[in-house]
């Protein structure tokens, strides 16, 4: 961890005057890296002796060593800026560096297993609730509510102290409670959280690491104590949870695409990955555009008015139906299609072995294939073994060749048999 990270983590261990110096340095990294001890003392509003003590408190030999480490930290944190960003004022670059540092620390301090656990609970919970008090925490909780709604998760935000205890008393083990607090925990918030724990609800604490509420929770998602840093950290957490699900959306098509090219090679004798990649990308883009258009039409039919602050109740019901029933229907259709996917580790291995033989000889070799291997390849290709490796009219280069005869004795293989 560099000097900037040490300053952010060690703010609570410093004296009042040293904390004042640390806060000033974090806000003015570029200036501090080149300022003299007198200039820094004057700008920070402390004495030169305090600056000297501060440098030793954070592990530096003297003020020169402090400036050196700050300069190195500034260089690392601005190295990713492009030419246009590098032309920004020093104060703006310092702010971007602090944001970058906060996000890096958030990634390091958040275990992936905790994120996976939260994602599972968000998907399976009967209801998701969030308790927050105070203007700062309520603003962050509202931001979290909007971010979760964008990925199809409805969160009930409670910001009333009396209502918190009432809701906590109705929770059970199939409910998920998020408790958000960046400052000192209010006694009412602690009492409501403790009541929810007694009710055996799953509790995730969105608090600083040493916060009192973290001891009452099932798991902790640490947030920085600084309000602005906490805002960016919260966005990062939501993005990470959403990314776990969206990763599958991007992984499955590209993973399946490689198998399609292998099947096409044994049929045509050509490698045509580029064509399939273009078709898949076009199909995905077209389907996304169609989905956006369809959702817009449905929302308009439900009474949605763009720019209107208060929407009819039917609009909320429509959004809920799209995010819940619509998602389930699409997943069910995808599941039905997946049942027809015959490739697995065993059948694909057989396909690659026979393809290697054809590639070496330049034509199909049915005499060297075992009956099981022949049946597998014919089942995947959908045509007789003798018609493979370009001995058909599939593909531009083979367009003038005779069509392959129909496969009369199609192999019947269970797609889940020995699946790897």
Does the pLDDT at position 395 exceed 80? yes
Q: Please identify, among 81, 107, 133, the residue that sits at the C-terminal boundary of a domain.
A: 107
Q: What pLDDT is stored for residue 267 in this prediction?
A: 93
| 70 close to 63: Cβ distance less than 8 angstroms | no
Q: Are residues 64 and 168 in the same domain?
A: no
Q: Are residues 118 and 80 in the same domain?
A: no
Question: Residue 271's closest CA among 283, 280, 282, 263?
Answer: 263
In b/e form, how buried is each residue of 276-286, taking b as 16+ CB within 10 angstroms? eeeeeeeeeee
Residues 6+ apart with CB under 8 A from 375: 411, 413
Beta-bridge mates of residue 178: 130, 204
Residues 6+ apart with CB under 8 A from 36: none
Q: What pLDDT is stored for residue 283 in this prediction?
A: 86
Q: What pLDDT is stored for residue 419 in this prediction?
A: 40
Q: Please identify, among 52, 80, 107, the residue that sits at the C-terminal boundary of a domain.
A: 107
Residues 6+ apart with CB under 8 A from 8: 26, 101, 102, 105, 224, 226, 229
Q: Please identify, among 215, 236, 257, the residue that sits at the C-terminal boundary of a domain.
A: 236
Mean pLDDT to the nearest integer, 122-131: 90
Mean pLDDT to the nearest integer, 140-166: 84
Segment among 138-142, 227-231, 242-246, 401-405 with least mean pLDDT: 242-246
Q: Are residues 102 and 209 in the same domain?
A: no
Question: What is the DSSP secondary-structure string of 150-206?
Answer: HTT--EEEE--HHHHHHHHHH--TTEEEEEE-SSSPPHHHHHHHHHHHHTT-EEEEE
Q: Enter the tokens of residue 402.
A: 């005779």
Does the pLDDT at position 410 exceed 60? no
Q: Are residues 132 and 226 in the same domain?
A: yes
Residue tagged 């809701």 (tokens): 167
| 31 close to 90: Cβ distance less than 8 angstroms | yes
The count of structural domains within the chain is 2
Q: Are residues 164 and 187 in the same domain?
A: yes
| 178 close to 131: Cβ distance less than 8 angstroms | yes
90 within a domain of the structure (yes/no): yes
Domain range for 147 is: 110-236
Q: Are residues 7 and 72 in the same domain?
A: yes
Mean pLDDT to the nearest integer, 305-309: 76
| 76 close to 2: Cβ distance less than 8 angstroms | yes
161 within a domain of the structure (yes/no): yes
Q: What is the pTM of this model?
A: 0.41
Question: Residue 217's closest CA among 239, 240, 189, 252?
Answer: 189
Mean pLDDT to the nearest integer, 167-175: 91
Other Cβ atoms within 10 Å of 296 Cβ, number: 12
Residue tagged 């496969």 (tokens): 407
CATH number, domain of 66, equals 1.10.10.10
Mean pLDDT to the nearest integer, 65-79: 70
Q: Enter the tokens of residue 251.
A: 């992984």
SS3 220: strand
Q: Are residues 139 and 179 in the same domain?
A: yes
d(CA 296, CA 354): 49
Total length of the chain? 420
Does the pLDDT at position 129 exceed 90? yes
Q: Are residues 85 and 175 in the same domain?
A: no
242 within a domain of the structure (yes/no): no
Mean pLDDT to the nearest integer, 343-350: 87
pLDDT band at 392 (very low <50, low <70, confident <90, very high): very high
What one-character DSSP code corresponds to residue 228? H
d(CA 53, CA 231): 32
Which one is predicted more confidently, 75 or 111?
111
Mean of the per-residue pLDDT values of the chain:
80
318 within a domain of the structure (yes/no): no
212 within a domain of the structure (yes/no): yes
d(CA 198, CA 162): 18
Does the pLDDT at position 386 exceed 60? yes
Does the pLDDT at position 418 exceed 80? no
């Amino acid at each position: 961890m560099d000097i900037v990270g040490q300053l952010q983590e060690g703010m609570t261990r410093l004296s009042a005057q040293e904390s004042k110096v640390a806060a000033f340095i974090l806000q003015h990294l570029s200036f501090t890296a080149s300022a003299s001890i007198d200039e820094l003392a004057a700008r920070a509003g402390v004495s030169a002796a305090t600056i000297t003590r501060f440098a030793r408190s954070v592990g530096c030999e003297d003020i020169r060593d402090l400036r050196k480490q700050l300069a190195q930290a500034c260089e690392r944190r601005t190295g990713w800026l492009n030419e246009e960003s590098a032309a920004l004022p020093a104060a703006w670059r310092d702010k971007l560096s602090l944001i970058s540092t906060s996000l890096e620390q958030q990634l390091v301090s958040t275990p992936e297993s905790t994120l996976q656990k939260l994602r599972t609970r968000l998907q399976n919970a009967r209801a998701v609730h969030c308790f927050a008090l105070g203007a700062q925490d309520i603003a962050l909780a509202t931001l979290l509510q909007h971010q979760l709604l964008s990925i199809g998760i409805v969160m009930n935000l409670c910001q009333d102290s009396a209502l918190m205890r009432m809701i906590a008393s109705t929770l059970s083990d199939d409910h998920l409670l998020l408790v958000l607090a960046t400052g000192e925990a209010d006694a009412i918030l602690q009492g409501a959280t403790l009541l929810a724990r007694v009710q055996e609800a799953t509790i995730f604490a969105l608090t600083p690491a040493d916060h009192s509420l973290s001891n009452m929770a099932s798991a902790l998602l640490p947030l920085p104590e600084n309000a602005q840093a906490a805002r960016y950290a919260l966005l990062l957490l939501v993005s990470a949870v959403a990314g776990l699900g969206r990763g599958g959306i991007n992984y499955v098509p590209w993973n399946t695409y490689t198998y399609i090219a292998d099947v096409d090679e044994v049929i045509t004798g050509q490698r045509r990955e580029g064509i399939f990649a273009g078709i898949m990308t076009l199909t995905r883009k077209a389907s996304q555009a169609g989905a956006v258009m369809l959702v817009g039409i449905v929302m308009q039919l439900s009474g949605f008015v763009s720019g209107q602050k208060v929407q009819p109740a039917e609009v909320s019901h429509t959004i809920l139906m799209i995010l819940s029933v619509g998602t389930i229907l699409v997943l069910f259709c995808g599941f039905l299609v997946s049942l027809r996917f015959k490739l697995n580790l065993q059948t694909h291995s057989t396909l690659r072995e026979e393809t290697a033989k054809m590639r070496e000889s330049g034509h199909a070799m049915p005499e060297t294939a075992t009956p099981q291997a022949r049946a597998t390849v014919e089942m995947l290709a959908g045509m007789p073994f003798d018609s493979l490796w370009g001995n058909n009219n599939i593909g531009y280069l083979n367009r003038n060749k005779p069509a392959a005869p129909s496969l009369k004795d199609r192999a019947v293989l269970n797609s889940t048999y020995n699946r790897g």
